[in-house]
Amino acid sequence: MSTNSTAIPTIAALQGKRIAVLGYGSQGRAHALNLCDSGLDVVVGLRPNGPTSKKAEEDGLRVLTPADAVRDADLIAVLTPDMVQPALYRDAIAPNIKPGAALLFAHGFNVHFKQIDARKDIDVILVAPKGPGALVRREYEIGRGVPCLFAVHQDATGHAEEKAKAYAAGIGGARAMLIATDFKEETETDLFGEQAVLCGGASELVIAGFETLVEAGYQPEIAYYEVMHELKLIVDLFYEGGITRMLEFVSETAQYGDYVSGPRIVDAATKARMKAVLTDIQDGTFAKNWTAEYQAGLPNYKKFKQADLDHPIEVVGKALRARMPWLNAAAKPSDAAAPLQKAS
């Protein structure tokens, strides 16, 4: 897929149209406020009297029930959690969305895996900012934007792509870069990145490193700093300038260790397992298992999550982070005063 042309998309295709944002979490809040500040007509669809309803009203936005928000909208942005979306579509969207309106997602999971089969008389589009909601909002406020992926799954009106680009412009993405994709590519690469590298891969690598050092007799506090805390320094360098920048700022000793030991940890067998993860995503196995897990009440999810929260690295990390005032605005200077003593 290619990036957009040099012409920067505008909000023109959505001017005079009503946009309903369903959900007011990290992305929902950012999108709604950015669209509103771009001069578009925005309502937020939320359950009455909920905590997010109050927050949206405090932010100056008009709040309706999801069904009422959908009823008069020309574009509906579905920004609720993935597993909530099928019921939301069935109960609030499908009976109320008008012909020719656009249904927009920020992640293609439910459309790609056919959990949502949208009516044929509406446009189905995707705009996915490549950053968290807080960043989407912050970059917009300072006159910049976060790059966005955009895609068209269903073009009932002949104007679906125009609407997607206009929405991306409204949230600030067109100021940075728009990249054309499709629902399949966005969904499968996003899930793979989360599972193999960003969340699953990184957390398991950190935990294994911590356990290796502690089992060898090193202090847990020092192990924490070496494999968890300092990871941010490396990730920031990756973020700013890729592997090239990381290599510029670490020592030659660290570089040499990278070259000779990195491939011993992440080797051909690791890549083969990554391919197996990708296959599970591509053939729908992950989606099937995750949907079944959610419908069963999340028994394994809760068990796995609690195991992570109870791991010694979290116990040690919580104590150490409490002594880092720069991470906690409420911390007192005295909180970091007393030195830690090595266990005897």
- Which residues are part of the catalytic machinery? 107
Annotated binding residue at 47? Answer: yes
Token output for 274:
């990554």
Annotated binding residue at 255? Answer: no
* Token pair 């700093």: residue: 225
Rounded alpha-carbon distances, angstroms, from residue 127 to 149, 160, 178, 250: 6, 12, 9, 37
Annotated binding residue at 252? Answer: no
Annotated binding residue at 38? Answer: no
What φ, ψ does residue 207 adopt, rounded to 5°? -60, -45
Annotated binding residue at 2? Answer: no
Annotated binding residue at 58? Answer: no
Annotated binding residue at 68? Answer: no
Annotated binding residue at 60? Answer: no
**Under DSSP, is residue 119 helix (H, G, I), strand (E, B) or coil?**
coil
Neighbours of 286 (CB within 10 A): 20
Annotated binding residue at 194? Answer: yes
Residues flagged as binding site for Mg(2+): 190, 194, 226, 230
Residues flagged as binding site for NADP(+): 24-27, 47, 52, 133
Residues flagged as binding site for substrate: 251
Residues flagged as binding site: 24-27, 47, 52, 133, 190, 194, 226, 230, 251
